[in-house]
Amino acid sequence: MPSAEEDGNASPAPVLRRIENAMLDVLERGYVEVDGGARRVDLTSPALRNAVHVLAVAHDLLSEGRTATLREVYYRGRKRARDAEEGYANEADAARAVELAARVCGVDRAALGLFAASKGWFCGALEWRASRAEPWRSPRRPPPRAARFDAVAVPEDLDEWEARPLQNEPHLRARFVLVVEKYTVFYRIVNSEFLSRVPCVVVTGRGFPDLATRKLLRRVVDGLGRGTDAAVPVLGVCDFNPHGLMLMSAYACGSDASRESDAYACRTLRVVGLLADDVDRMALERRDVETFSAADRAAVASLVASPRVRAWDPRIADEARRMAERGFKVDLDTLARFGADFLVREWLPRTVVRA
């Protein structure tokens, strides 16, 4: 069976046949097998009925050479709900139906012509292109502000998207890729001199990353490292709380629920802040911290028990325990109280140099 990546770049004809075969299975047998026959889903399940709707939408898209976002699938499902008194309960329900449809066909959702409406952004020392038919682009601003970089939204369609280092400017070759949890931190980095002083690529999912942002990160890391002796380092920065660590683990480990997500896991990512050592060195006051909650302690337990997290980086469990021992959380935005530019001019440069 071709891999998800192979199907995503192939002619739609093989995928159309897979969709048609899956629909026939449903009609003739009343069920489908997924994950190589390891699981059977019956037509009485609302999940399969929703997945069949996704397959019908995907068949139309591929036949017409079009694509659609998951949000469009959801809204088509709302119309179906009015017409047939069934459909998606919410957008997460539609996303699960798309995932099941892709697994039924043994492809990724891009092969079905379906893409997430991404919320991520990137910026920095790289060039990219959406396909081989298009020219290479760069976020570098033209003179007289060539030292600055523009932020770029993560595109929905990453099927043929690729990245490479800035050409003819070895002094601006990216030294690492920086993954940041929050858009506020990303915004401060982009609007400072940090990228000019420390050439790198910065990526944010604006909170928990969607699949498109994780996929772009994987493409950026692969593209910047191509033709070199060593992979480009990937550094992660998040709030000092267990949910920040869980968010970083989504980039590094993928998702238990999605084979496609796992394919774009970035296991070389290393969390470099905020760590217990950082907050121990800071003169924090009571107003700067937030007390641990029951949900935070449950998140720590989940991180410590996760075999995926242990396989990625055993230090994450240790860091989660240290958070619980201190019993408080610290937001990255809190660093602003040490000065408006403290985060990007002092703490972040020191952190990446130490890493």
Tens digit of pLDDT per residue, the chain (355 long)?
A: 233 333 334 468 889 999 998 888 888 888 777 766 657 777 778 888 888 889 999 998 888 877 777 777 887 776 555 444 567 777 778 888 888 888 888 888 878 888 766 789 999 999 999 999 999 998 876 655 545 788 899 987 888 899 999 887 777 889 999 999 999 899 899 888 898 889 999 999 988 888 889 999 999 999 998 867 678 999 999 999 999 999 999 999 986 555 555 778 999 999 998 999 999 999 888 888 999 999 999 999 999 999 999 999 999 999 999 999 999 999 998 898 888 789 999 999 999 988 8
152 and 101 in one domain? no
Same domain, 150 and 82: no
Task: Tell me what pLDDT residue 7 has.
Answer: 37
Asked if 78 and 199 sit in the same domain, the reply is: no
Out of 115, 138, 169, pick the residue that ends a domain: 115
pLDDT score of 117: 67
291 and 217 fall within a common domain: yes
Smallest CA-to-CA distance from 122 within 220, 12, 35, 18 is with 220
pLDDT of residue 143: 58
Task: Indicate whether 187 and 294 sit together in one domain.
Answer: yes
Closest Cα to residue 242, out of 283, 297, 294?
Answer: 297
Neighbouring C-beta atoms of residue 52, cutoff 10 Å = 20
> Of 77, 100, 115, which marks where a domain is finished?
115
Q: Total domain count for the chain?
A: 2
When computed from its CA atoms, the radius of gyration of the chain, rounded to whole angstroms, is: 22
| Tokens linked to 184 | 């506020």
**Burial of 221 per CB tally in 10 Å (0-12, 13-18, 19+):** buried
Same domain? For 158 and 243 the reply is yes
Q: How far, rounded to the nearest angstrom, does the alpha carbon of residue 214 sit from its chain's CA centroid? A: 2
Amino acid letter, 252: A
192 and 334 both lie in a single domain: yes
Strand partners, 328: 291
Same domain, 126 and 231: yes
Predicted pLDDT at 249: 95
Q: How much is the pLDDT for 38?
A: 59
* Residue 12 belongs to domain spanning: 4-115
**What pLDDT sits at residue 170?**
76
| Same domain, yes or no: 158 and 69 | no
Return the CATH number at 27.
Answer: 1.10.10.10
DSSP 202: E
The count of residues in the chain is 355
CATH, residue 151: 3.40.1360.10
